[in-house]
Structure 1
Amino acid sequence: MGQSMMVLPTEPFSTSRMHVLQYVDVAVCATNASDDGYKKHINYMVQVNEVGKGHWVVPRRYTQFRMLWRSVQTIAHASKVKPAPANAAHVGQRTNLADFDFPKKTLKVLFVGTNSMAASVIQARVGRFHTYLSALVRFLLDFQWGEDRRHQNAITSRDATKLCWLVANFLGVPKAFRTSNTDYLHSHPL
């Protein structure tokens, strides 16, 4: 089975959106069940808090978290940056992200197996998703963009740019981020 990876945009990554993570804090803190046609599923609510502006909430399904995890795994495993004393901490973070114990898919057939909508499964996933997103954001915040400090990194600037784009896209960062004078509507405060 082939795993799909998120498709990156063809145009260059905007430098104004590159450092988006300096101004946000993320939390996976709630869920809701959704009935999309014939199949029920769980939406995990990701609350993104922008410093001094408020927050927005992005619903994400298990498969979207899994796609993000697989994309990050692919980038981390493909990294050509060699471990050295100067980048040991960042390499450790990269290894933890690449080897993260992502929650397994659940399967229930008739009365055998675990239902993905079981409270214990949902609670465990919320915790793991929050831990993963927090670690990913921390990894990117610790990335050194300055030319004189790049030897401290565990990935290249190009890979860091890809990861920033993936995370910003996953978090639903608005196009007017940090440029709008208006605060966000708290339509789904958590």
Structure 2
Amino acid sequence: MISIRPLATKDFPQVVTFAIEGMHFDRYFQNPLALRAFGYYFVEHEYANATQALGAYEDGRLVGVLFASETAAPKPHATWPRRLLVASYQRLMHVFAGQGTPAYDAANADMLAAFTAKKAADGEISLLATDPMLQGRGIGSQLLAAFARTAKGKRYFLYTDSDCVYQFYDHRGFIREQTRQIELTLGAKQFPLTCMLYSQIF
């Protein structure tokens, strides 16, 4: 049986693994150190900005995670040591990734500006990831259901892209609000990517 409860920080290594595998970060980073560092940067950054961090547990083992940030709510995890850690990871990423990731960030910022010009958003779902070995068990849906009980009547948006399982959101009533085509440049390689912004009122 799966239970949903606040994420324990001791489970961060597993969250990083879920993010790396679920979002296919290994497509961009061949160096194992760079891959793991980027995974930790991503997870620590999103956790620092989260107002909710939910874990799905089965027999005490983490099997899924959801981070969300409500715009008007305080960020309890945004301590100065964590922000310092995120900044350190960010500097390391510039060494490995060069100027590649700003194209992704710029596309997301452009989509958000176009979206919020038409609709108001109460917050963002910044991470939804599950154990890749347990896909099809409904873990992501259970995390969303638990989150929905605290976000009733509020509109949340999320970013995803063509390297992720974006169809999950199509099948669960999310609206694809915006798309952008980019080329992500990492080192000497270029990766075409479709960036997407979805939203839903819970």
TM-score (norm 1): 0.24
Which has the greater radius of gyration?
1
Structure with more strand by fraction: 2
Larger RCO, structures 1/2 (Cα 8 Å, 6+ apart)? 1
